[in-house]
Amino acid sequence: MRLPGLLTSLIASLCLVGCSSTSGIDALDVGKPSNEITSSVVRPSAPVASVPAMTRANKPRRTVEEASVAESVRPFGLAEEETVALSSPELPDNVDPPVEPAALVSPPKLFSRSAPLMLSGPLTRYAFRDAKPINFGRSSPRHLAVHGVDVSRWQGDVNWEKLRAQGANFAYIKATDGGDHLDPMFMKNWRGAEAAGLKRGAYHFFYWCRTAGEQADWFIRNVPRMEGALPPVIDVEWNGESTCKRRPSREKVLEKMQVFMDKLERHYGQRPIIYTAPDFYRDNLQGAFLDYPFWLRAVAQHPSKVYPGRKWLFWQYSGSGLSHGVTGRIDLNVFHGDERQWRAWAGGRTTVADAD
SS3 per residue for the chain: CCCCHHHHHHHHHHHHHHHHHHHHHHHHCCCCCCCCCCCCCCECCCCCCCCCCCCHHHCCCCCCCCCCCCCCECCCCCCCHHHHCCCCCCCCCCCCCCCCCCCCCCCCCCCCCCCCHHHHCCCCCCCCEECCCCCCHHHCHHHCCCEEEEECHHHCCCCHHHHHHCCCCEEEEEEEECCCEECCCHHHHHHHHHHCCCEEEEEEECCCCCCHHHHHHHHHHHCCCCCCCCCCEEEECCCCCCCCCCCCCHHHHHHHHHHHHHHHHHHHCCCCEEEECHHHHHHHHCCCCCCCCEEEECCCCCHHHHCCCCCCCEEEEEEEEECCCCCCEEEEEEECCCHHHHHHHHHCCCCCCCCC
Report if residue 62 sits inside a domain. no
Question: Considering its fold, how many domains does the chain have in total?
Answer: 1
Report if residue 163 sits inside a domain. yes
CA angle 134, 137, 140 (to 5 degrees): 70
Q: What is the Cα 23 distance to its own chain's centre?
A: 33
pTM, two decimal places: 0.71
Per-residue pLDDT at 5: 53
Containing structural domain, residue 326: 69-90+103-347
Asked which of 20-34, 223-237, 282-296 is least confident by mean pLDDT, the reply is: 20-34
Check which CATH number belongs to the domain holding 176 and give it: 3.20.20.80
Report if residue 213 sits inside a domain. yes
Express each pLDDT in 284-324 by its tens digit: 999 999 999 999 999 999 999 999 999 999 999 999 999 98
Report if residue 25 sits inside a domain. no
Report if residue 194 sits inside a domain. yes
Report if residue 292 sits inside a domain. yes
Q: Where does the pLDDT of residue 353 fall: very low under 50, low under 70, confident under 90, or very high at 90 and above? A: very low
Express each pLDDT in 182-213 by its tens digit: 999 999 999 999 999 999 999 999 999 999 99
Report if residue 205 sits inside a domain. yes
Express each pLDDT in 56-96 by its tens digit: 334 333 333 333 333 333 333 333 333 344 544 444 545 54
Report if residue 95 sits inside a domain. no
